[in-house]
Structure 1
Amino acid sequence: MMMKQHDNKETVEVDALLKAARDPVPDVPDGLMARVLADAAALQPTQMGVMREKPGLWMRWTDLLGGWQGMGGLVAATCAGVWIGLNPPAALPDAGVLLLGYETADITTTTAELTSFGWDLNGE
């Protein structure tokens, strides 16, 4: 392949750069490469702590339930459920009666209700 002579100065410079790019890369001295690799190793981040190979059962449950915040919420909900179950408000039906299917009779008349309006008086 015959190279053609160019009169343009820019074309000559580009041809010179392309020829230099085709030349093999010179070898880097061993001392320089060792210093570069030592500097790179010194700048690598180090490991902060050592993790156990496999977390325990308690830690896995805690992580599954959302950490300590999730566990705190579950404890609060459990305490509220036990409290409502043992001492239900008057507006809620008794869960034991609903589950066992008993029929209850509501007794709303007490002595206090009869005596508070004077209904126990015989016209006096």
Structure 2
Amino acid sequence: MRSKLRIAWNTFALSPTRRLGAFARPGGDPIQGPDGEEYWTTKQAAEAMEVSPSTISTWRTNGYLKPADGSPPRRPLYRRADVVKAEKAAYDAAVRTSGSAKRTSRAALAG
């Protein structure tokens, strides 16, 4: 499955006539991958999670988030489910290291 996915990404995302930016514009619709899952660019993930794009990059650097196999290195794509898990892992790590036993959610703070 892995090699088929890589081939599908390379032919779909990197063809000379359809560069990644042609179908994955920031703020545009999520990409439907060859495996039927939803994929986001860094900008789309940031908008969906209501954080900055640099936060998404930090999650990647800290190991909470990994780009999809075969996605272009300079424009990584992330599975939607992985982004949601990364936000939870980053939040749990922040609460754990803050020394605070109080757990609040972003929704409670906004409301």
TM-score (normalised: structure 2)? 0.20
Bigger relative contact order, structure 1 or 2 (CA pairs below 8 A, ≥6 apart): 2
With normalisation by structure 1, the TM-score equals 0.19
Q: Which is greater in Rg?
A: 1
Structure with higher strand content: 2
